[in-house]
Amino acid sequence: MEQIKLQSRVSVPELSQYFNVSESTIRRDLKELEEVKLIRRTHGGAIAIESVNFEPTYLEKEDKFLKEKEAIAKKAVEFIHEGDTLLLDSGTTVFHLVKELKKFNKLTVVTNSLIFAQELQDSQGIEVIITGGFLRKETLALVGPLADQSLNKMKVDIAFIGTNGIDLVEGITTPNLVEAETKRKMIQIAKQVILLADHSKLGKVAFAKVAELGEMNKLIVDNRVSESVISSLKNLGIDVYTAEE
């Protein structure tokens, strides 16, 4: 448990080597720890249970890694053209992209964020469509069946998606099952999907699966992500872009 808490994520071979025991012994130990809800087993290893369920509020996240998020937003705006229809997920990194949109003269923006809609209310050339749905107080996102039904009636040029966790094996994850489903709908209705994530999201796994990494067309990260990780992401077929501060 100390090793799992220290690293957040461990593999069976790592633990086997560390403790000098067989991998089958480690698997049995992990099974027992999962049964008492201390960890969650993953493909080939385990993660700490708190890293799966923990979800900071929108207000707790909005002032973290500000320079990185601003840089990612400035890079993301390079892929937007006048007249595009955009779908904006309600993440704090995506919020910085919302601020960049005000320089455009003609856009249609679909969002499940009341905050984003309010931010764009005075932008004359931007038509704003709100999905509707159940308001999650933790993320201030509109989610659930009503949001999903409205998304099913649309097609957009680009979806900009935020996430709680990005893992090479587990893919894109978020702590809440309902919000994960709404994010999946967003991905399904977009011609192009661009994932925005600062370095703190890499290597993290949350409770609910959103999508495989290969379902993303592009990933924009900050310059604190290592070249080896970027190379591994590119091997999955994703175009990875690094935003310079």
pLDDT at 39: 82
Sheet (strand 218-222) strand order: 126-130, 107-111, 85-88, 156-161, 190-196, 218-222, 239-243
What value does the mean pLDDT of the chain take? 91
Which of the pair, 198 or 5, is modelled with greater confidence? 198
Rounded Cα–Cα distance for residues 14 and 229 (Å): 19
Contact 39, 12 (CB under 8 A): no
Residue 51 has pLDDT above 60, yes or no: no
Beta carbons within 8 Å of 124's beta carbon, 6+ residues apart? none
Residue 55 has pLDDT above 60, yes or no: yes
Q: Is the pTM of this model over 0.85?
A: no
Please write the tens of the pLDDT for every residue from 171-181: 999 999 999 99
Percentage with pLDDT > 90 across the chain? 74
Q: What is the mean pLDDT of residues 124-128?
A: 95
Nearest C-alpha neighbor of 119 from the set 142, 140, 96, 151: 96
Please write the tens of the pLDDT for every residue from 88-118: 999 899 999 999 999 999 999 999 999 999 9
pLDDT at 10: 87
Nearest C-alpha neighbor of 166 from the set 104, 211, 99: 211
Sheet (strand 165-167) strand order: 165-167, 171-174, 208-211
Contact 90, 162 (CB under 8 A): yes
Residue 222 has pLDDT above 60, yes or no: yes
Q: Domains in the chain, ordered, with CATH?
A: 2-53 (1.10.10), 58-243 (3.40.50.1360)
pLDDT at 53: 57
